[in-house]
Amino acid sequence: MVFRKLPGVSASGMGLRLSQKFVFLLFLSGLVTLCFGALFFLPDSVRLKRIFLSKTDTQPHLKRAKDQEHLRGITSGKGETSTKLKSLSRKPSVSHEATEERLAGGKAQEDLTLFRSKAESASERATFSNHGASSDTFSYNKFKQCLLKAPLGREQGRPSDPRTAERRDKVKEMMKFAWDNYKRYAWGKNELRPLTRNGHIGNMFGGLKGATIIDSLDTLYIMGMTEEYNDAKEWVQTSLDLNSNGEASLFEVNIRYVGGLLSAYYLTGEELFKKKAMELGEKLLPAFNTPTGIPRGVINLGSGTSWSWGWASAGSSILAEFGTLHLEFVHLSELSSNAIYKEKVMNIRKLLSKIEKPHGLYPNFLSPVSGNWVQHHVSIGGLGDSFYEYLIKSYLMSDKTDEEAKKMYYSALEAIEANLVQKSPGGLTYMAEWRGGILDHKMGHLACFSGGMIGIGADDGVPEKRQHYLDLAAEITHTCHESYTPTKLGPEAFRFDGGAEATATRLSDRYYILRPEVIESYMYMWRLTHDPKYREWGWEAVEALEQHCRVDSGFSGIRDVYATTVGHDNMQQSFFLSETLKYLYLLFSDDDLLPLEDWVFNTEAHPLPIIRSVPPPLSQ
Ligand code: DMJ
């Protein structure tokens, strides 16, 4: 740059003036930067902060170019208002510690309501709503204030009736026994082998380790097992390595790891869990890079390459796998303010909503290339099950705003009732499987979750069918209880033909691998009806687990539920700690421990909060 000499000013004098100006400008820009930077340290409620920092996207680092490209489209404002998720935020900040104490301490709901009524004037509430709809960053504090009740309830849900409290303590002891043995013999591995006293890694999680730890975090937390929870958290901090390079089941990694981490985050507020959930969520995105956006079942977590299961007909994807991502992916978007996750699952939804369905039913196999059904096998058990579960739970988790999910769920249920629901000669209601119009009179243990599912959806059906749905839920749960005999544990599949009434007729169907589905339905039916029989049935299961599955160093599945002397399969499944024991504990707890008004459970029993965009009405 050339400086022209000013009249009466020497070159050195001009240089001096210029450097003074430069120093002044430097000082000024420093001051501006300082003021702007200070905005970050202001509480969320300060208006200046809301004006200047209202669009702080937390865009996670993406490895794959395709996803980066997609993200750029979102963050650059393309379709921003339509894709942006409503935030949970709706209140200006109050003392974080005060709220934490109320909620974590399990104080009663009145406390929280009182706290709200004091803090919120009508105009403030209007502001929260508006703020909630436009804010980009997730505030854990605000999320907690959106809950109707304290997650852990009064006295952590301890029932006042001594017998029930004793039963609950027994379940906690079982959890401690299962956990301690896992810790002692299989720490960091995926599951415990309780007979040989070692760990099992398997090939379902693509080289990820510690499935039992991730699956147990929330169970340990709600049971108040602080020391064990802290050990689990420390392991996540120091040893959970997500940079694995193996072939994983997209479905299993999602429901156990992503679900487990999300739930641990929402319950505890530990940023570590959120960070890990986001990191893992990103690694799952390449599975959706198919011509239709329907993900394939298997993904290499390192390279992002994905493919279909070898056993799935003609390279198809499985309904229960690609249909069981919705809850977790919506929450990934919620936490990251990045719409990509929700878009992926909404795309699946769109295809399934539009596609022609034989008799209104959803077959289990779909081509990720053509988007057509590959064969007409329909089942509420394995291969289909949690797709239906996630429809009604998507509706509930959206605070009953996701009308499309609701419509799809009730139409599917209507088709299931018309085509699959049967009554046995002995009067048992069951769900048969459907193969291109031909019924197979068999029900899998997995299908027994449907008692609970139909139960939680009963109240939102058309008024004239609500009682019918509740009755149907009770009938199915009853049938599943009937299958639990004579060890009081149930087989993998049971039949209703050739004179069979909820019994396994094949040797290969007689095993029990510590599955939760029947107990899951007891838990929901208890919450919905308070019929004491559900607690009694749950207790029968506890006694049977103790008698047949408890071995010296943990719990094991058994090979034949009809044998007088059982053989063990040497596997303590991670879902035993995540689901079976959690549902039993909830069954013997008061309803305010993880109240259904605030939480939905993913298919691995990890509680995820209902997303509220409108503040709940204030109590007087
Ligand atoms: C769990 O991993 C989940 O409940 C899944 O939806 C089905 N199978 C197991 C438990 O049986």
Q: Tens digits of per-residue pLDDT, 44-69? A: 333 333 333 332 222 233 333 333 33
User: What pLDDT score was predicted for residue 613?
Assistant: 72
Residues 511-561: tens digit of each pLDDT: 999 999 999 999 999 999 999 999 999 999 999 999 999 999 999 999 999
Among 123-137, 206-220, 454-468, whose mean pLDDT is lowest? 123-137
The residue nearest atom 11 of ligand 1, judged by CA position, is 515
Instruction: Kindly report the CATH number assigned to the domain that includes residue 198.
Output: 1.50.10.10
As a whole-number percent, the residues of the chain with pLDDT over 70 amount to: 77
Q: What pLDDT score was predicted for residue 43?
A: 37
In a domain, 108, yes or no: no
What integer is the mean pLDDT of 83-103?
28
Q: In sequence order, which residues have a C-beta less than 8 Å from that of residue 272 and are 6 or more positions away?
A: 233, 236, 237
pLDDT in tens, 267-283: 999 999 999 999 999 99
**Cβ(575)–Cβ(516) below 8 Å:** yes
Closest atom of ligand 1 relative to the 385 alpha carbon: 6
Query: In this structure, is residue 286 part of a structural domain?
Result: yes
Which residue out of 453, 492, 600, 604 has the highest number of ligand 1 atoms within 8 Å of its CB and is therefore the one to mutate?
Answer: 604
Determine, yes or no, domain membership for 523: yes
Q: Structure pTM?
A: 0.80
Dist. CA 193 → ligand 1 center (Å) = 19
> Does residue 125 lie within any of the structural domains?
no
**Does residue 29 sit within a domain?**
no
- Catalytic residue of the set 136, 492, 509, 598: 492
**Single-letter residue type at 426:** G
Catalytic residue among 120, 218, 252, 592: 252
Task: Choose one of 324, 379, 383, 446 to mutate for the ligand 1 pocket test, by most ligand atoms within 8 angstroms of C-beta.
Answer: 446
Q: Look at the chain and report how many structural domains it folds into.
A: 1
pLDDT at 585 over 90: yes
42 within a domain of the structure (yes/no) = no
Task: Tell me which residue has tokens 């993200």.
Answer: 71
Q: Is the pLDDT of residue 581 over 80?
A: yes
Distances (CA, A) of 563 to 228, 375, 455, 488, 559: 35, 37, 33, 11, 9
Verify whether residue 517 is a known catalytic residue. yes
Residue 150 falls inside a structural domain: yes
* Ligand 1 atom nearest 256 alpha carbon: 2
User: Which of 67, 136, 321, 385 is flagged as catalytic?
Assistant: 385
Q: Which domain holds residue 395?
A: 140-609
**Cβ proximity of 513 and 567 under 8 Å:** no
* Residue 404 identity (one-letter amino acid): E
* 294-323 pLDDT, tens digit each: 999 999 999 999 999 999 989 999 999 999
Residue nearest to atom 10 of ligand 1 (CA): 515
Statement: residue 183 has pLDDT above 90: yes
H-helix or E-strand spanning residue 247:
strand 247-249
Pocket of ligand 1 (CB under 6 A): 386, 446, 515-516, 575, 579, 603-604
Cβ atoms of residues 344 and 329 within 8 Å: yes
Of all atoms in ligand 1, which is nearest to the CA of residue 520?
Answer: 4
Binding-site residues, please?
Answer: 603
Q: How far is the CA of 514 from the centre of ligand 1 (A)?
A: 10
pLDDT at 137: 86
Tell me, yes or no, if 492 is annotated catalytic.
yes
CA-nearest residue for atom 8, ligand 1, is 446
Q: How far apart, in whole angstroms, are the C-alpha atoms of residue 497 and residue 488?
A: 22
**Can you tell me which atom of ligand 1 is nearest the CA of 517?**
11
CA of 215 to the centre of ligand 1 (A): 12
How far, in Å, are 164, 171, 177, 478, 532 from residue 539 at the CA level?
10, 10, 18, 15, 11
Instruction: Give phi and psi for 298, each to the nearest 5.
Output: -120, 140
**Residue whose CA is closest, atom 3 of ligand 1?**
604
574 contacts: CB under 8 Å, gap ≥ 6: 190, 191, 211, 212, 214, 215, 216, 256
Please give the share of the chain, as a percent, with pLDDT higher than 90: 76
Is 349 contained in some domain?
yes
